[in-house]
Structure 1
Amino acid sequence: MTETILVHRAEGVTTITLNRPDKLNCFNGPMHDEVRAAIATAATDGTRCLVLTGAGKGFCAGQDLADRVRAPGAPPPDLGASLDARYNPLIRALKSLEMPVICAVNGIAAGAGANLALACDIVVAARSASFVQSFCKVGLIPDSGGTWTLPHLVGMARATALQMLGDKVSAEQAEAWGMIWKCVGDDDLMTTVHDMARHLAAQPTRGLALTKKALAASAAHSLDAQLDLERDLQAQAGRTKDYREGVAAFMEKRVPKFEGR
């Protein structure tokens, strides 16, 4: 049986490639299990940057609806239980991973696939890629964090229209709206992302992880609460080996050699 994902590790970077190209990399049970396991491994094996991308022409078209088909007369699937068991833990795992996560969107990102991409820390998309909140087309609400992430990225007016109309957003439009970091030529996508990943993997990983934690908390905090959090996280950052190395390298006018500690 074909592996549902491919995993490659080199130079401190783990790349997870969704590998059901004939299904536009739609999620089924085995893919969920394999992605979650690969993320858990990356959290403990010395990886300092994670890249998520897709094989073939699409990034991820969301849920494989063939997994949801029931025999006539059978009760409908419990989609809330599916979110609790599958999608919500996946989004939480990416958000809490103590390293940068880059998504290389190589093609269509639809439904949960779009919101999976947008849950990553930095999103780079090929010019031919697109994003669509397709839930409304089958009578569902956006999930996988979409009703939280999209309004924070593009504002409530655009998020509401995108999620109620299901309009497709091109990679160029997504960049213009601030939905993603960058749109690049199709042939440049993986080179751009891997160069960025290698750069991040050589940076002070603990400091980047604490930055990620601060940014995640900011939406729910008052300014006073965020200032207190910055104080506490900066105290942690100031005790890292990488901070000492960064200061020493600055004083000695040399390139720092960070170890991610």
Structure 2
Amino acid sequence: MSFVEISIDERVALLTLNDPDQRNALSGPEQFEALVASCERISNDKNIHCVVLTGAGSAFCAGGNVKNMWQRICDPNAVAADQRYRYKEGIHRVVHALHGLEVPTIAAINGPAVGAGLDLACMCDIRIASTKASFAESFVKLGIIPGDGGAWLLQKIVGPSRAAELIFTGDKIGPEQALSYGLISRIVEHDDLLKEATALARRIAANPPYAVRMAKRLLRESQHSRLESVLEMSAAFQALAHFTPDHRELVETAANRSAR
């Protein structure tokens, strides 16, 4: 059984973290590789226009596996420098793969999103939470720090002050507080979560795919670029968009409708 189950329907890929007994914890290389491979499959399939990421069972993702952490502590041959490369060659690959997807991504957060699990949700473009969701950037509770880019990801979404509060305290917050922070965009009834997330994904997937991909790239670049640089990229992308078949067809349809 793969850690990530993938199904594709009407140009929408549903990725399900599928280890409910372990609350979908990110235990090690097998889980990281499954996530990276799923992202690579999506990147190589131009018929996929949007992605929904969720968890099986009661949790979205419980973050790192504490049993694995204890084994590492007890290993007399463990070397700090080696651990650095395990991060770079492990979960950092997930960050690059998921955060770097060209197509829009929606995290459907069905339960606790803790530590690296919260950061996994933050790698997505949109986050929708069920009434049973909870959130904690809880690394400090175990005497560690966000080793997977969470300090960058969370700060981009909720701002420096709230990110600092969540990271420094490790406190758990519920969906209402997450909504007020801007961490999620909406709360839905638990049983309606996948239906609502999939409906949103299909509305996105119905739009011209190259325009959506370029719009996502502009959003990402706008987070850290000067206005002049974003304007230059906008002009270049718009020039490409003007000559796509989708644009021609949609403008022709609109022009014919207005001429009636």
Task: Tell me whether the two structures share a fold, i.e. TM-score over 0.5.
Answer: yes
Q: How far apart, in 2, do the equivalents of 1:143 and 1:72 lie?
A: 20
Q: How far apart, in 2, do the equivalents of 1:214 and 1:72 lie?
A: 45
Over aligned residue pairs, what C-alpha RMSD do you find? Answer: 1.7
Is the alpha carbon distance of 1:175 and 1:74 closer, same or farther for their aligned partners in structure 2, counting shifts above 3 Å?
same
The Cα of 1:249 is off from its aligned counterpart by: 2.2
What SS does the corresponding residue of 2:15 show, helix, strand or coil? strand
The one-letter code matched in structure 1 to 2:124 is C
For residue 73 of structure 1, the aligned residue among 69, 72, 76 is: 76
How many residues were matched structurally? 253
- Contact conserved, 2:114 with 2:135, CA < 8 A, in 1? yes
- Contact conserved, 1:119 with 1:145, CA < 8 A, in 2? no
Q: How far apart, in 1, do the equivalents of 2:122 and 2:51 lie?
A: 14
- Contact conserved, 2:91 with 2:148, CA < 8 A, in 1? yes
Is 1:19 paired with 2:18? yes
Aligned runs of 1:143-158 on 2, under 5 Å? 143-158=147-162
- Residue equivalent to 2:99: 95
Greater fraction helix: 2
The one-letter code matched in structure 2 to 1:190 is L
The Cα of 1:76 is off from its aligned counterpart by: 4.7
The one-letter code matched in structure 1 to 2:43 is A
What SS does the corresponding residue of 2:237 show, helix, strand or coil? helix
Is the alpha carbon distance of 1:136 and 1:202 closer, same or farther for their aligned partners in structure 2, counting shifts above 3 Å?
same
Deviates more, 1:45-54 or 1:17-26: 45-54
The Cα of 1:90 is off from its aligned counterpart by: 1.3
The Cα of 1:201 is off from its aligned counterpart by: 1.5
Q: How far apart, in 2, do the equivalents of 1:205 and 1:4 lie?
A: 28
- Structure 1 segments, 4+ long, off by >6 Å, are none
- Residue equivalent to 2:185: 181
Q: Unaligned regions of 5+ residues in structure 2, if any?
A: none
Q: How far apart, in 1, do the equivalents of 2:231 and 2:212 lie?
A: 18
Deviates more, 1:233-242 or 1:99-108: 233-242
The Cα of 1:244 is off from its aligned counterpart by: 1.4
TM-score by length of 2: 0.91
- Residue equivalent to 1:109: 113
Is the alpha carbon distance of 1:10 and 1:167 closer, same or farther for their aligned partners in structure 2, counting shifts above 3 Å?
same
The Cα of 1:16 is off from its aligned counterpart by: 0.8
- Residue equivalent to 1:31: 31
What is the aligned-residue identity percentage? 36
